[in-house]
Amino acid sequence: MLWGSRFDKALDELVARFNNSFYFDWRLYDADIRGSIAYAQALARAGLLTDAEMRAIERGLNQIRDEFARGVSSTEPGTGFVAQPDDEDIHTAVERRLFELIGDPAHKLHTGRSRNDQVATDTRLYVMDAIDRLQSQVSRLQSQLVAQAERHFGILMPGYTHVRRAQPILFSHYLLSFFWMLHRDRERFADAKKRASVLPLGAGALAGNPFHIDREFLARALGFERVSENSLDAVSDRDFIAEFLFAASLLQIHLSRLAEDLILYSAPEFGFIALDDAYTTGSSLMPQKKNPDALELVRGKTGRTISNLQALLITLKGLPSTYNKDLQEDKEPLFDAVDTLEMTLPVVAGVIQTLRVNVDAMRAALDEGMLATDLAEYLVRRGVPFRRAHHLVGALVKQAETRGVKLSALSLDEFRAVSDAFSEDVYAVFDFDASVKARDVFGGTSPRAVREQIADAKKVLAK
């Protein structure tokens, strides 16, 4: 028991269970042990531990880390870390075990430290590590997008707005649109990591450490960029988790939108792409079915991540200053968001890597109506103001529609009856490739612009 003597009674059994966080926060063991090793070194430097005591603590903590790495159980000594009913959280569990292993020096480790600055330190280390892992997973997905954009360079597809065919685009251009969303996600993670990289250790329970602990040393030892400026703020600042969860939510939303597109495009009604069998599932009843369950789960799991962000924000709202036990509720949403993304990202990368493209179906879905804008632009190039051109082409579209023919089936006389700016060369407008090629602005869908975009994307990936 951590606080023993002041109390007349043991904690109510139900409250003990209510209070317990070990069953989820044991996952912080590596961060907790790193933090404690650095703290023991700082104590030794401040003259509060002898070198021998410090080394005993280090040795014990390293052994505990090995035990955790082999697994956690509440029975069967010898298999890994054996949790005890009194292990309230990861911090008390590690200290309890350390005492079993090395005796008295274990009881000096917590000198000047509180679980308040300890848990804040651990959680920041955990978030910084999680961001590093997620960054490489996101960049692997980005590489798959670029690889497919290169492999299918030159293929045309209908670009949609409102799920209505709008203008022809390059399939590569479509794929790369997600590359840039993911690029912003990576920037957001990098930014969130900067603000996570602030050391709270040394803040004590709330008022600061009285033992001349070298916080700069601790920051360097643990890989933090800076030390916190205010101990009251340090023990209760969970902004870094909120920022992480926002970045995670937005990333998950991008993945969800991609999943939604791919579900649609792989439906037989579109038939633009085929998902690999390894990423689809059958129906227990209908033998013909091939369902995009994996992508549906990518979409579906987005809700959890968004609610994790909400849960944390609601926990933080209205908390009185400094540490309150409510803050223990920060961890499960965080862990869940990390777990969800670490499962989701490789699934999406696999779907992208293995998807097959049906070039003919994409081509066949292009219709001349999608060139109506090009027709208006033809008139603009011949001096007709755009608003007027838009209006005139609208009349032509209507005419073709009433007669049930394609725009290009209208005769030159019919074109000229609408505007004498039309001449024989108007028929050259009915060319999907030319339409795509014309959108040659930086960031546009022309093959030249998309080639440039691929080169830029590769530069981003190489960084």
Residues near ligand ARG (CB under 6 A)? 21, 25, 89, 115-116, 119, 323, 325, 327-328
- Smallest CA-to-CA distance from 21 within 326, 234, 323 is with 326
**Pick 21 or 231: Cβ nearer ligand ARG:** 21
- Smallest CA-to-CA distance from 344 within 294, 392, 385, 388 is with 294
CB of 72 to ligand ARG, least distance (A): 16
Query: 21 catalytic, yes or no?
Result: no
- Identify the sign of the CA torsion 212, 218, 220, 225: negative
Q: How far apart are CA 283 and CA 290, in angstroms?
A: 7
Helical ranges in 89-114 per DSSP H: 90-102
Query: 283 catalytic, yes or no?
Result: yes
The H or E element containing residue 170 is: strand 164-170
CB of 114 to ligand ARG, least distance (A): 7
Q: How far apart are CA 375 and CA 369, in angstroms?
A: 10
Beta pairing partners, 281: 291
Query: Residue 245: phi, psi to the nearest 5?
Result: -70, -30
Q: How far apart are CA 39 and CA 219, in angstroms?
A: 10
- Smallest CA-to-CA distance from 457 within 150, 171, 185, 137 is with 150
Q: Which of 73, 74, 136, 283 is catalytic?
A: 283
CB of 21 to ligand ARG, least distance (A): 4
Beta pairing partners, 169: 157
CB of 24 to ligand ARG, least distance (A): 9
Q: Note whether 228 and 124 are within 8 A (CB).
A: no
Question: What is the identity of the amino acid at 158?
Answer: P
CB atoms within 10 A of CB 267: 12
**Pick 118 or 435: Cβ nearer ligand ARG:** 118
CB of 323 to ligand ARG, least distance (A): 5
CB of 89 to ligand ARG, least distance (A): 4
Q: Which of 162, 212, 266, 435 is catalytic?
A: 162
Supply 15's token pair: 């409250």
Q: How far apart are CA 227 and CA 216, in angstroms?
A: 7
Q: How far is CA 240 from CA 52, 134, 196, 319, in A?
A: 37, 16, 5, 16
Active site residues: 162, 283
